[in-house]
Amino acid sequence: MSNRSRWLARAMAVLSVMGMGTAVGSSQDSNLAQTPPMGWNSWNHFGCKVTDADVRGAADAIATNGMKQAGYIYVNVDDCWQGKRDEHGMIQPNEKFPDMKALGDYIHSKGLKFGIYSSPGPETCAKHEGSYGHEEDDARQYAAWGVDYLKYDWCSASRVYKPEEMRAVYRKMAEALHRTGRPMVLSLCQYGLESVWMWGAAIGGNLWRTTEDISDHWDRMSDIGFEQNGLEKYAGPGHWNDPDMLEVGNGHMNHDEYLTHMSLWCLLAAPLLAGNDLSKMTPETLAILTNPEVVAVDQDSRGIQGHRVWEEGPYEIWTKPLADGSTAVGLFNRGEDAEDIKLDFSAVGVPASASVRDLWGQKDLGNFTGSFTAKVPRHGVVLVKVK
């Protein structure tokens, strides 16, 4: 059975349990997000200062710096692009975005895809025009602009909807997008409320936030990332748990901490949406974002989300089975001193004798019997493939 067939069977089983009938939306009737979406989002670095020029600059960077070849294809405008509605109820951009159709065309001309942002409430998080009462209008407008991805952020929806209405609210936009005939990835951004991982796929979502917002700080990033254990059964091709966007390169974590961030997100099969200023990126940051062997863990065709197999104090081992029969393993040190961490092969279902490859170093470490031990730096990781 193919990955897609397995996913459809799982989705229908979920629907049967929930009594929700036939699923609708882009994730159920297309090949969207068969691996976790990769790209860039404006929010983490630019916030509400983002402009058309910033977004075009990000597209230019992705198309020329190796990120496109690594798999980063979505160029997503977050909040603060919105202006007012016209006399027909159609949303218009503000003065910072003079022509959204032209922006989408520019992004597409680079061989990339165009993402946008809204809220099911009357206002977005930054108090701009939301989609409340205009879901069909906005879906048609996005399609006309050539949008390929919608991040739909709960925000002010809590003022007009009850928590138990959340599923129907997100389903409404999924159906509106579906009716346009244009495939658009639907990202549910509602901070893990109402156990979204249990129903996000059934209403047409391709990914859903499992946490509140990330920030570019070790404590926040690590708390969010390491909390994902146990959600792996809800992820797979076409539908992904989303622990929020990447902070790699924004400057408030050190190199080892960014390696931990990237390694953990890849083991989690999380969407990889860079959140830094791509036009001013250091070679070190680019190397983290584009390491082909690390990205391959995230994009593995089996679509399995990794999980924790061992924990002792601040030390953790996470594992993710891969399509080639090997296993990606992350040895994480959340402590304050470098420490030797031992991987017992039996803990990850690996035979007594196995080869080990360092994915960040892109080098073979040799054959080992029974176990593998590595010294892991403070707040750092050793990410290996065991076969």
Catalytic residue numbers, as ranges: 153, 213
Query: Phi and psi dihedrals of 168, rounded to 5?
Result: -65, -35
For residue 302, the one-letter residue type is R
The set of residues, in sequence order, having a beta carbon less than 8 Å from that of 42 and lying 6+ positions away, is 50, 54, 55, 58, 76, 77, 78
Strand partners, 312: 315
Please give the structure tokens belonging to residue 97: 């975005």
Q: How far is CA 239 from the centre of its chain?
A: 10
Count CA atoms closer than 13 A to 168's CA, side-chain side.
5
Q: How far is CA 19 from the centre of its chain?
A: 28
Count CA atoms closer than 13 A to 191's CA, side-chain side.
11
- Catalogue the E-assigned strands of the chain: 38-41, 74-76, 82-85, 91-93, 113-118, 149-153, 185-189, 207-209, 240-242, 272-274, 307-312, 315-321, 327-333, 339-344, 353-358, 363-369, 371-376, 381-386
- Say if residues 248 and 44 touch (Cβ distance below 8 Å): no
350, 272, 215, 120 alpha-carbon torsion, rounded to 10°: -120
Instruction: Select from 114, 115, 103, 109 the least CA-distant residue to 56.
Output: 103
